[in-house]
Amino acid sequence: MDAETLRILLAVFLVTMYVLAVLYLRQRRLSLGAYIFWGLFALVVPALGPFLVILLWPGTGVYSTRGARRRYKT
């Protein structure tokens, strides 16, 4: 492997991680400002940003059942 191949692999990895972070953010309930902040954070901090966005769990999940009343017949 030469240096050019490693640069291409690094670029592909960083773009893939950014896309994963943005897709993760789409599943969270965030205001537009928070969505932009976390998206820019993932973009500005290229190697750690996407990992931190996923690990820090910003907002609440769209499919979250927290606070929802359970409907069970008793």
Whether 36 maps to a domain, the answer reads yes
Give dist(CA 27, CA 54) in Å, integer: 11
User: Secondary structure of 22-54 in the HEC alphabet?
Assistant: HHHHHCEECCHHHHHHHHHHHHHCCCCHHHHHH
19 is a domain residue: yes
- Give the model's confidence band at 12: pLDDT under 50 very low, under 70 low, under 90 confident, else very high: very high
| Number of domains the chain contains | 1
- Which one has a higher pLDDT value, 65 or 54? 54
CB atoms within 10 A of CB 38: 22
Cα(18)–Cα(52) distance, rounded to whole angstroms? 11
- Assigned domain for 2 exists: no
Say which amino acid occupies 66.
R
The answer to whether residue 23 scores a pLDDT higher than 80 is yes
Express each pLDDT in 33-58 by its tens digit. Answer: 988 888 888 887 777 777 777 777 77
* Mean pLDDT calculated for residue range 16-35: 86
Q: In this structure, is residue 63 part of a structural domain?
A: no
